[in-house]
Every structure is written in structure tokens, then in C-alpha cells.
Structure 1
Amino acid sequence: MSTTATLRTVHAVPLPEGTVIHAALPGAQYADAYQTPDPHPNASALQAWLDMVARTPHWTRALMAVRNRLVRLVGLKDVGQLHDVHDQRSGPHADPRNAASYRQGDRVGIFILRHLGEREVVMGQDDKHLDVQVSLCKRLVGGQPMLVLSTVVHIHNTLGHAYMAVITPFHCAIVRSMLRRVAAVPTRTGH
């Protein structure tokens, strides 16, 4: 592994057109997307997600724990942590940290895998208040490999609107922080 001399930053971008997550946009009440250079362009989208959530910042874990305690008081579910690994794959050699051991419909952290492609993974969590979808997409921008982390939310009721009003600033800070951590990982060369 070697580091690159390029400045790694996170930028807000439009949802990438032609992606699975972009198709979920119609009717959504909230959507965002952030982009950063991809330090491991040969890894699958799901492997990039697993690597990213394995490095979830401690302050994010603390916020999620507070969130989970508070939302139970108003009837929302405790979804766990982004980095939670659920060993529910079949077979004696399943490795929940290895993207190849996952299938569409499996749980990965707080989400269910809705789309599993080499270049894009879409995960979601749907309940009576919100339908949240998150995509990690790998693409080339000006010939440079990039990661785009997108979120699309369909809000079902007043409690869902209230929840999003409170959580949105935290969501944006968490996404940016996670992408900055990914961008700080040395670039793999020779693959």
C-alpha cells in the first residue's frame, strides 16, 4: 500500500444518475449524496461499505446509542449500530466482514441489503414512519475513481417528519466523517 499525494476531500454532489438509488428519488422528502476519492477502486461496493463502517468513529457510536435509547420512548425501533455484524449467512465458512458472504436480503449493520451489485450497493430500513435507503456507489469522475454515499428518505407520517428534522444535521456530520475516514486510508496499488 502507498499513500497518494492528492488532497482527499468530501463534496456534496447530486445523486448519481443511472444508479439504483437515483431510481428511488421520485416522491422522496429527503435526499443527499457525498463524494470522495476511492482509495480501493478494485474492491466491490459492499466491501467498501463494510470497510467504512468497521471504522465508524466512536462519537458516531455514542450518538447512535443515545438515538436508540431516545427513539424507543416515542415508538421507533432501536436499529443497533452501523458497524454491527450479523452472522446470518449460511454455511460453515461464512465471514460477515467479507462482502462475498452476503446476499440480497441479508442484514448488514442497521440495514437490509436491497440491491447488491459490484459497483453499487443499496441498503434500507423501512418502518411505519420512514423508508430510508442508503447507497454506496463506485464511479469514475474525470477518470478518477470516486465513492458516492447517497441517502434517500420517504417519510410516511408526522413522527417521521419530526424524526428527520432532528436527525438530519447529525446524519450529514456522520456521513461526511465516515467518508473522510475512508479517504484517509492509503490507496492500494498494484491490484
Structure 2
Amino acid sequence: MDGIPNHVMLKQYSHDATFSDNHVREIPYNGETAMDVYLQLMNSTPGWIDALMRLRNRIASLLGLKHLGNFDDFSPAKKDFNVGDRVGIFTMIYRSPVEVIMEDRDKHLDVKVSFHITPNGNRATVTASTVVHVKNRLGKVYMFFVGPAHKLIVPATLNKLPKI
């Protein structure tokens, strides 16, 4: 169901996932880490995605869901994030030079996202993967709307990365 490659650490969290997806993008490579790529993406989120996030937060607050904030709610100058730190809307739960895994948990959903980078000379493959475990009916309703949007949001965000 998930299509998450075996070399991506997030794969271990995909068992029994309600939702998962995976997107890949080739980029020029200059020694960036997975965290560098994640920060670059969060600092260049397309405006329409930011607008959707603001709308999501307004509606979520009315439904008793958590207000997540915005993707770029962190200091872009900071580079020394550690496991346990909040980085934008997610908390970092794993970090290596080639992969960073972020998470957001509440009573409705457990969401994990991964950015994995596979260098190959002066190119690299960026793999963006998501795993969601729904915990209740409200989480199912939420994912009914967010799941299809997610499949547009991640590729649009990855398209902000430099092109080969």
C-alpha cells in the first residue's frame, strides 16, 4: 500500500498505516544533509499551501483539532535542531545525515513524515514519505479531505527544490 522504499527508515512505521505516500525528486547535490533539504523546503512552501494551512487551522480549531501553526514557524537561521525539537509544525523524532523524520501526534492522528536524501555524485534523490495512523472517526473524516490534498501538496513543495 505505501510504496515507501525499504532504505527509508520511515518504512518501519508504515505497518497498519491508514494513509501513506511517497514522492521522489532528483536535485543537484552539493553535500546537503536531509535536514538541510527539509529546512529549504519549509522555507519555500508555495503560497497556496500556506493559505490552505491557515484555512485548515481555522477549521480544525472549530472542530476541536490541534492548531498546528505554519510550515515555516521556526527560525530559518537555526541549523542545529535536535531530536525532540519542534521544527515548524512537526517534532523531530529521528535525524541522520541522510534522513530526518518528523512527527505530529494528537488524539485523532499520528502523522510521520520523512525526507531522505540519496547522494549520487553531483545529483541526489530526495524521497519524501508520509505515514498516517488514524485513531478515531474524526481522524478518518480529516484524512478524507487531507489525503487527496496531500498528494498535490508534497509534489508541489518538492518542485521548489533546485532542478537538475
* TM-score of the pair, normalised by structure 1: 0.79
Shift in Å at residue 119 of structure 1? 0.1
CA contact (8 A) 2:20 2:131 kept: yes
The runs of at least 4 consecutive aligned structure 1 residues that moved more than 6 Å come to none
Aligned residue number for residue 135 of structure 1: 114
Aligned residue number for residue 120 of structure 1: 99
Shift in Å at residue 18 of structure 1? 3.1
1:97 aligns with 2:77: yes
Computed over aligned residues only, the root mean square deviation of the Cα atoms, in angstroms, reads: 1.8
Partners of 1:137 and 1:148 in 2: CA distance: 5
CA contact (8 A) 1:110 1:125 kept: yes
Residues matched between the structures, number: 162
Aligned residue number for residue 22 of structure 2: 33
Amino acid corresponding to residue 25 of structure 1 in structure 2: S
Write the deviation string for residues 73-128 of structure 1: whole angstroms up to 9, x where unpaired. Answer: 1110110111111x5xxxxxxxx5343x1110000000000001100000000000
Identity across matched positions, percent = 34
Shift in Å at residue 72 of structure 1? 0.8
Shift in CA distance, 16/97, structure 1 to aligned 2, threshold 3 Å: farther
Gaps of at least 5 residues in structure 2 are none
1:52 aligns with 2:32: no
1:159 is aligned, of 134, 138, 160, to 138
Aligned residue number for residue 73 of structure 1: 62
CA contact (8 A) 1:47 1:98 kept: no
Query: By percentage of residues, which structure has more strand?
Result: 2
CA contact (8 A) 2:28 2:123 kept: no
